[in-house]
Amino acid sequence: QGQKTDFLFGSNTNREDKIYLWGQVEKHGQTIQVVADSLHVQASQVSLYNRGPLKVMYDPARGFHIDQFELTGPGGRVVARDHPDFRSAIEIMLGDIDLRPWAFLFGQPHVGGVLNAELAFSGGLSDPLVFAEGNLKQVEAYGLLIPTITTNFSYGDKRFLVDVVLVPEHGKPISVSGSVPIDSAEPLQLDLRSEGLALTLLDTFVAGINEIAGDLALELQLRGTRDIPTYQGKLRLKNGKINHPSIGRVYEPIFADLTMDQNRVRLDSLSIGKIGQQLVVSGHADLTSGELSDFDLRMNFTHFQPIRWPEVKAELSGQLHMVGTSLRPRLSGNLVVQQTDIRLG
């Protein structure tokens, strides 16, 4: 004697973004079968809906089995079936999937793009094996556009293996590879690389700045655990530029070399401005636990203009030495204001 449960749920059908689903779940012993008679997901004018009933079965001894599963519509196509080459495995093919309906489902209405991918699942519900490869085109998220993302990932033994390459609109590709455990106390290993990340990507996210530019080459390793991560690697900024309208200054060119080791950041070199009108900084900063717990910075000013308002202009030369922590900084040195213009009225 089996058990059967009918289900029906959905959102307001009068809204532009909506979802509704109905069907039944049957259980016979350890075997569970889900049949969805109708599934419809819509975001704006983009939608996906089932072609025929969706029938998925799960048995602990056999794993998943798919009798029929196809979604289609203006939002793309999803087909799932038993894997033709591996027993007790299923494969899912995603073709030209518009991300907007699915982003809507997960509460991210500002995310868009087109996904093509192939996935394979095997194993039990408590310990599945997942393999996937695919790409995303024209990814949009909160004003940021990434033309292409390619990805390969797998999941098994409670750990994700990832290999992702992002090709931004400007600058060189960014790659992320390594493994991430489910258990936050297990070892973490991620590598992040780019030969020239265009800092124009940050324009959207930094308030009060009209323009951020430059090429950031980076090679970073994330180790430790998710609970206590550690960072190490190198970053090099070339031809940097910051347009800060509130202080009337465009800082350029900016060059910097940083080394990270066990969350300690060493500022090998930082220069802002042209030779003869420049600020040069070197030293180190300790970012343990995400806070500026210790720093030692030396600053050399040469006819440097920190602000440039219509009413106030200043030019600085000299040396400063800043040490201590964010709560107890100490400053020493000799700084000369070589030229000051103040206009009143």
Name the percent of the chain in helix, strand, coil, to the closest 5: 5, 70, 25
Average pLDDT over residues 160-168: 95
Question: Whole-angstrom Cα distance, residue 253 to residue 275?
Answer: 10
Tokens matching residue 257: 């070399």
Q: pTM value? A: 0.79
pLDDT of residue 102: 76
Mean pLDDT of the chain: 88
Return the closest-CA partner of residue 149 out of 120, 178, 118, 175: 175
pLDDT band at 319 (very low <50, low <70, confident <90, very high): very high
Query: Which residues 6+ apart lie within 8 Å of 11 measured at CB?
Result: 17, 18, 19, 20
The predicted-structure confidence for 255-288, as pLDDT tens digits, reads as follows: 999 998 877 888 889 999 999 999 999 998 776 5
Percentage with pLDDT > 70 across the chain: 95
The single-letter code of the amino acid at 74 is P
Handedness of CA 52, 57, 63, 67 (dihedral sign): negative
pLDDT band at 13 (very low <50, low <70, confident <90, very high): low
**CA-CA distances (angstroms) from residue 135 to 27, 115, 159, 209?**
37, 6, 21, 33
pLDDT band at 174 (very low <50, low <70, confident <90, very high): very high
pLDDT of residue 223: 94
Strands 229-244 and 249-261: antiparallel
Given a contact cutoff of 8 angstroms between Cβ atoms, the answer to whether 96 and 114 are in contact is yes
pLDDT of residue 1: 60
Residues in the chain: 345
Q: Which residue has the tokens 């990814």?
A: 139
pLDDT of residue 327: 83
Query: Which residues 6+ apart lie within 8 Å of 21 measured at CB?
Result: 7, 8, 9, 10, 36, 38, 39, 40
Average pLDDT over residues 86-98: 89
Greatest mean pLDDT range, 228-232, 234-238, 249-253, 324-328: 234-238
Given a contact cutoff of 8 angstroms between Cβ atoms, the answer to whether 61 and 30 are in contact is yes
pLDDT band at 110 (very low <50, low <70, confident <90, very high): confident
